[in-house]
Structure 1
């Protein structure tokens, strides 16, 4: 690809909903032109003293990830919001991040009229990969710096002697991925607190990366 070629704008749609709604999200998204997606199981965190006393601090979540061009993404988000009412508390969170390249699929249509746009970034997605059992520590550190919670995913390899890789880091059965949607103004403080508390800069303690978020639904201040 030469520097003169137009690079189509694809986005990754993230939808975080209650357990059992993931397949319904995919079904509705396909009506808008999304060809398919990947569904992951995770758990959300709840910051509430009463719930902690009752040992009810986690909620099972489903995370749906889908790829589409900008126009299809906008159409899909509007449709999903009408069907699932993300404007209501606890009905789910939706956000999108940009992709710089896309390979291995012919199902995403390129729209020649699609433009990237230069909207102001208001939220960012913080991803932390840590040892199993450390995800709660990540959430706790993040909350001290202003975060309201996050979603925890279990990362597993396909077998005892095999591992998956994320950014060249082995993801074995004892790893956890923490996803935190952050106001841009708090991102630096949250990342710094996690790095300090979990000693991320020391070898083997984990990795953190941050993505800019384009569109959001279901976020409450």
Structure 2
């Protein structure tokens, strides 16, 4: 079976359509484009009010591993993600991710064997920046905030319709040896032990293309 992965790219606003056009070269269609914002730690940009940059986040499943290397090379040469503020791309392996009750142990990925991982924190709208401040306090240099919606009906609701509160999804690339430090700090500061405060989880990253200092 081919190793399958989830390709995620964060590019400056307006670049998603160009990316999807490039994917037609590989005969790959579909994918999801979401709006978000990048965060910068540059002091001058913060003073000028330019610390947040508008981003487009592209999520594309890759079902054949033969495409992964060419796509990452394309990101490097066409979108120049090796230069500052141009974007970043990374892959999350999905072939063998699953519960032990579903997959035998020798078919599961051990996240510790990967050089880096991606931390996802889902919080109420407006709290994404607070998460990023805590992330930066641990020494991390940045991340991406995706704007989304939650869905569900509270158990004490008297109304027969779904409530869809706005959510911020914070995405941070971190070196594996620092994941526990960052995640534990966020758990403490954001009180994620209370389910009403949000959730946090990590996924392994098999490849990163672009500037990454996590």
Q: Select 1:92's aligned residue among 79, 87, 91.
A: 87
Segment drifting more, 29-38 vs 86-95: 29-38
Q: Are the aligned partners of 2:119 and 2:201 in contact in 1 as well (CA < 8 Å)?
A: yes
Distance 2:44 2:88 in 1: 24
Q: TM-score under structure 1 normalisation?
A: 0.79
Partner of 1:66: 60
Flag the 1:52–1:119 CA change in 2: closer, same or farther, 3 A: closer
SS across alignment from 1:36: coil
Runs of 4+ in 1 over 3 A off after TM superposition: 160-163
SS across alignment from 1:138: helix
Residue 155 of structure 1 deviates from its aligned partner by 0.9
Gaps of 5+ in 2: 98-108, 154-160
Higher helix share: 2
State the Cα deviation string for residues 136-178 of structure 1 (Å, max 9, x = none): 11111111112111100111269x9446xxxxxxxx3321100
Number of aligned positions between the proteins:
193
Q: Map 1:18-29 onto structure 2 (within 5 A).
A: 18-29=12-23
Query: Over the residues paired in the alignment, what is the CA RMSD in angstroms?
Result: 2.5
Residue 101 of structure 1 deviates from its aligned partner by 7.2
Q: Map 1:76-115 onto structure 2 (within 5 A).
A: 76-100=71-95
Q: TM-score under structure 2 normalisation?
A: 0.82
